[in-house]
Amino acid sequence: MKLTSARAAWHDAYYQPWDSVMSVAAEWARLGTSVQTTRRSVNAAHAAHQALAGAVQVAISRLPVQPRAFGHFMYSPLTLNDQREIAEESVFASAVAAVTAMKQAKYEKAEYVAKGVMYRYQRMNQGGQGGSIDPMSSPEAFRAWIADWYGISLDSRNWEREWGAFVEACFNACNDLDRRALGPVAAAINELLDDACIPCAAEVT
């Protein structure tokens, strides 16, 4: 596990890089006299990973529900549907609160716009690396994705006036939740690095 960034550490803390128990046992049987050396190697790697992962997991467990769910949706390889749903509800509620009141028909469609923005945000930070290309930067691609995934048709006329502010509010909500999720994790990583006397610091992004 490499403590290079809070995003990567979040992913790695829940990722099991070693082989399954059965495959390791089969390898030991094949190696014969090398069994003891292999066992020590696997256990050492496992122990080192678990020690670092445990510290990151503790920091994550102490987060409030909304940023923790958002972080899991974004970076954990073990994301569950309930975490995604909490994250979606948080982004939607925050974006709705940030824009002017909307009619019921638009409000019902706005939920799917928020889901789409979350997907875009996740893809732009795929694998915890950040800096990836927005897969639906054009309104046409974004509307097509929402129609394909949710069967919701959005009018292309006056797109910026109708949806521009809300899409921006969704991205702002994602950024806010992301910072709230990653900040304590970055602090935990820096503490680990300080304890180990390693001359580098983890970035939030």
Per-residue confidence (pLDDT) for residue 193, from 0 to 100: 75
Per-residue confidence (pLDDT) for residue 131, from 0 to 100: 66
Per-residue confidence (pLDDT) for residue 49, from 0 to 100: 57
Task: Please work out, in degrees rounded to the nearest 5, the angle formed at the alpha carbon of residue 55 by the alpha carbons of 118 and 173.
Answer: 20
Per-residue confidence (pLDDT) for residue 37, from 0 to 100: 43
Per-residue confidence (pLDDT) for residue 24, from 0 to 100: 43
Per-residue confidence (pLDDT) for residue 53, from 0 to 100: 77
Residue 108 identity: E
Per-residue confidence (pLDDT) for residue 128, from 0 to 100: 47
- Look up residue 152 and give its two tokens: 């919701």
Per-residue confidence (pLDDT) for residue 191, from 0 to 100: 83
CA–CA separation, 28 vs 38, rounded Å? 7
User: Which regions of the chain are under pLDDT 70?
Assistant: 1-3, 16-51, 126-131, 195-205
Per-residue confidence (pLDDT) for residue 88, from 0 to 100: 96
Per-residue confidence (pLDDT) for residue 20, from 0 to 100: 46
Question: 90 CB contacts (<8 Å, ≥6 apart)?
Answer: 66, 69, 70, 173, 177
Per-residue confidence (pLDDT) for residue 54, from 0 to 100: 81
Per-residue confidence (pLDDT) for residue 8, from 0 to 100: 85
- Nearest by Cα to 183 from 4, 6, 1: 6
Per-residue confidence (pLDDT) for residue 50, from 0 to 100: 65
CA–CA separation, 160 vs 173, rounded Å? 19
Question: 112 CB contacts (<8 Å, ≥6 apart)?
Answer: 146, 150, 152
Domain boundaries, given as residue ranges, for the chain: 6-64+183-195, 65-181
Residue 198 identity: I
Per-residue confidence (pLDDT) for residue 33, from 0 to 100: 43
